[in-house]
Amino acid sequence: QHFSIAAIPGDGIGPEVMAEGLKTLKKIEELHGGIHFSIDTFDWNCEYYVKHGKMMPDNGLEILRDYDVILLGAIGAPTVPDHISVWELILPIRRAFQQYINLRPIKLLRGLESPLRYKAHKDLDFIVVRENTEGEYSNMGGRLHENTPFELAVQNNVFTRYGTERVINYAYSLAEKRTGRRLTAATKSNGINHSMPFWDEIVKEVSKQHPNIQTDIYHIDALAAYFITRPEELDVVVASNLFGDILTDLGAAIVGGLGLAPSGNINPEKNYPSMFEPIHGSAPDIAGKQIANPIAQIWSISLMMEHLGFSDIADLIVSSIEEVLIDRKVSTPDLGGKNSTREFGEAIHQQMTKK
Ligand code: NAI
Ligand code: MG
């Protein structure tokens, strides 16, 4: 089978981890004779912005539309304000291609210890479904009376019935596929008194079609605490765009850090390409040093393979990462090791061959 991939390495550590991700794709081709990838790389990043005054060409989305999947490294540099680099590249892709599901597994890999050491013997393995096209990250609002004492800024939250139902339906079907036991929804209906009660109502409506699944609706502040105090009880967590964004950095922290955490921006109907990327950003503090952890990028390729229907290869990637972690001989500084991005990636790819 043939798949076309658009690779956008991006800024900072993006290109460093993407280089390892591209080797993962090569390794998959080598191990699985039937799979072939054709990969085109795009230099759309902050440097491109400084040169051209935009993050991608005017027909950038049209170009991407023809690919089966998009692989992203990370975007963001001190030369361009973050609200421009994110709003002109990542958010347009998520929206144009109806990638309304942002899937973020929170799983403690074998060979790693959670910083929640007292929980380390317990299984930490759940998944956050983040709404990815509306909610708090709406483009609606504005600023008035700039630079006066009366200055104000307004940003509206947008929750449509269509957008809310589809993400909650997806989360329930994922819960059915996983353990069939439990779904946890993040809310804040005590403080945000229009959109969040609406969200809760839709959770309750959809829950009626899944009577076997226990539904809990927790306020986001309490739920953040549960991520620390009883994460082993979670299975599928569904959250709005902002809440899901915050919860998943927290989730990444309890299973080893941002360098490990992958994500998929999924268009479940497969009408458009889905996009796979690490949760982390461009990490300017460590960029250019070859010390970034490549696992988040490599694991995001595992999510990609799952999406393309190759669960066996998806599992092989994750178990190979685990073998290298258990072995403990090679790792990057964020995990206490001394190795480079390249050496860590190489160890994982060698392990894939052994399996
Ligand atoms: P960040 O995720 O880039 O870095 C946070 C911390 O985690 C830093 O200390 C960094 O060194 C560490 N870290 C991140 N990835 C790592 C890896 N693979 N290995 C080892 N350590 C790692 O978040 P920050 O600093 O808030 O943002 C930096 C830039 O990235 C900003 O311009 C921001 O807008 C952008 N950003 C882009 C995202 C994307 O492309 N999807 C997501 C988040 C931030
Ligand atoms: Mg984030």
Do the domains 113-254 and 1-99+262-355 match in fold?
yes
In terms of C-beta density within 10 A (0-12 exposed, 13-18 middle, 19 or more buried), how is residue 126 classed?
A: buried
pLDDT tens for each residue of 160-173: 999 999 999 999 99
Asked if pLDDT for residue 60 goes beyond 90, the answer is yes
Q: pLDDT band for 179, please (50, 70, 90 cuts).
A: confident
> Do 141 and 153 touch, CB atoms closer than 8 A?
yes
* Interface predicted TM-score of the whole assembly (ipTM), two decimals: 0.98
Please report the atom of ligand 1 found closest to the CA of residue 285.
11
State in Å: Cα 94 to ligand 1 middle. 19
Q: Which of 242, 280, 342 to mutate to test the pocket of ligand 1 (most atoms within 8 A of CB)?
A: 280
Q: What is the pLDDT of residue 355?
A: 73
243 residue type, one letter: F
User: What percentage of residues in the chain have a pLDDT greater than 90?
Assistant: 93
Q: Which of 242, 258, 300 to mutate to test the pocket of ligand 1 (most atoms within 8 A of CB)?
A: 258
Fold exhibited by the domain 1-99+262-355:
Isopropylmalate Dehydrogenase (3.40.718)
pLDDT tens for each residue of 187-223: 999 999 999 999 999 999 999 999 999 999 999 999 9
At residue 76, the 3 state secondary structure works out as coil
Q: What is the pLDDT of residue 291?
A: 98
Beta strand 152-155 with 214-219: parallel, antiparallel or unpaired?
A: unpaired
Q: Which residues contact 299 (CB under 8 A, 6 or more apart)?
A: 260, 261, 262, 317, 318, 321
Residue 27: C-alpha distances to residues 80, 298, 342 (Å): 35, 11, 15
Asked if pLDDT for residue 252 goes beyond 70, the answer is yes
State in Å: Cα 317 to ligand 1 middle. 23
Asked if pLDDT for residue 121 goes beyond 80, the answer is no
> Do 95 and 61 touch, CB atoms closer than 8 A?
no
Residue 305 Cβ contacting ligand 1 at under 6 Å: no
> Do 262 and 303 touch, CB atoms closer than 8 A?
yes
Architecture per CATH, 113-254: 3-Layer(aba) Sandwich (3.40)
pLDDT tens for each residue of 123-148: 899 999 999 999 999 889 999 999 99
Q: What is the pLDDT of residue 240?
A: 98
261 residue type, one letter: A
State in Å: Cα 242 to ligand 2 middle. 9
- In the predicted model, what is the mean pLDDT of the chain? 96
Domain limits, the chain: 1-99+262-355, 113-254
